[in-house]
Amino acid sequence: MVKQQANWSPYDNNGGSCVAIAGADYCVIAADTRMSTGYNILTREYSKICKLADKCVMASSGFQADVKALQKQLAARHLIYQHQHNKQMSCPAMAQLLSNTLYYKRFFPYYSFNVLGGLDNEGKGCVFTYDAVGSYEKVGYSSQGSGSTLITPFLDNQLKSPSPLLLPVQDAVTPLVEAEAIDLVKTVFASASERDIYTGDKIEIVVVNATGIRREYMELRKD
């Protein structure tokens, strides 16, 4: 008697990559805009980035239906927080909320690989990186998604000081200025889209700094 196997899966992987880099007074969060299933492209213009609070932005790759549900949950919880506390949630507070929300579904997880970026209470850039069930860590930079295996080693090499590979840990944030960090992100995605079939079309780059949140785009290979 062979164990019965499922004839369908509740999950799908829509591919794509996300990156976030924290600076002294800014944070860059970027993701490609391609949504795929299997070897097919569903759309070239899908945003994986969501603004959760005034100074807090999340990028998620994985199963976009779960990502959407997760974003809606967090948005509703943020509204409740604002009613109760009369202010916006800080990035570290949102980071904990995201972790708790993910673990809540530990036994039917959100298939969502998240990267949270923003400014902490002192205005310094911060990035939090997650697995699908809510394990998280504050880091200086992070990458998730189908291209992460290509992107992370490159970031380790370029952003030497915030790298967790150095012991003792030196800086929590990169000494790069905003323009240099954005350039690095563009380079990284251009390289990733060469080898990763699920990454391409366009990058959406969101920058959070003291003046607010700004968005820009860059074209990538369409193949």
Partner 1 sequence: MFRNQYDTDVTTWSPAGRLFQVEYAMEAVKQGSAAIGLRSKTHIVLGCVNKANSELSSHQKKIFKVDDHIGVAIAGLTADGRVLSRYMRNECINYSFTYESPLPVGRLVVQLADKAQVCTQRSWKRPYGVGLLVAGLDESGAHLYYNCPSGNYFEYQAFAIGSRSQAAKTYLERRFKNFSDSSRDNLVKDALMAIRETLQGETLKSSICTVAVVGVGEPFHILDQETVQQMIDAFEIVGEQEGPAAEPDAAAAAAAGQEAAAADQGGSTEEGVAPMDI
The one-letter code for the residue type at 222 is K
Does 79 participate in binding partner 1 (rule CB under 8 A)?
yes
Among 80, 165, 167, 210, the residue binding partner 1 under the rule CB under 8 A is 80
Distances (CA, A) of 125 to 101, 128, 129, 159: 23, 10, 14, 15
Return the number of the residue (27 or 98) whose C-beta is nearest partner 1.
98
Return the number of the residue (79 or 179) whose C-beta is nearest partner 1.
79
Does 179 participate in binding partner 1 (rule CB under 8 A)?
no
Rounded CA-CA distance 217/140 in Å is 23
DSSP code string of 137-196: EEESEEEEETTHHHHHHHHHHHSTTT-TTSSS---SSB---HHHHHHHHHHHHHHHHHH-
Of the candidate spans 24-32, 76-84, 124-132, 157-165, the one that interacts with partner 1 by CB under 8 A turns out to be 76-84
Rounded CA-CA distance 46/49 in Å is 9
Does 72 participate in binding partner 1 (rule CB under 8 A)?
yes
* Residue matched to tokens 């002192």: 122
Q: How far is the CB of 73 from partner 1 (least distance, A)?
A: 8
Does 166 participate in binding partner 1 (rule CB under 8 A)?
no
Q: How far is the CB of 82 from partner 1 (least distance, A)?
A: 9
Is-cis flag, bond preceding 168, omega within 30?
yes
Return the number of the residue (68 or 106) whose C-beta is nearest partner 1.
68
Does 68 participate in binding partner 1 (rule CB under 8 A)?
no
Does 85 participate in binding partner 1 (rule CB under 8 A)?
no
Please answer whether residues 218 and 186 qualify as being in contact, where contact means their C-beta atoms are separated by less than 8 angstroms: yes
Does 104 participate in binding partner 1 (rule CB under 8 A)?
no
Q: How far is the CB of 86 from partner 1 (least distance, A)?
A: 10
β pairing state of 202-209 and 26-32: antiparallel
Q: Write out the residues near partner 1 by the rule CB under 8 A.
A: 72, 76, 79-80, 83
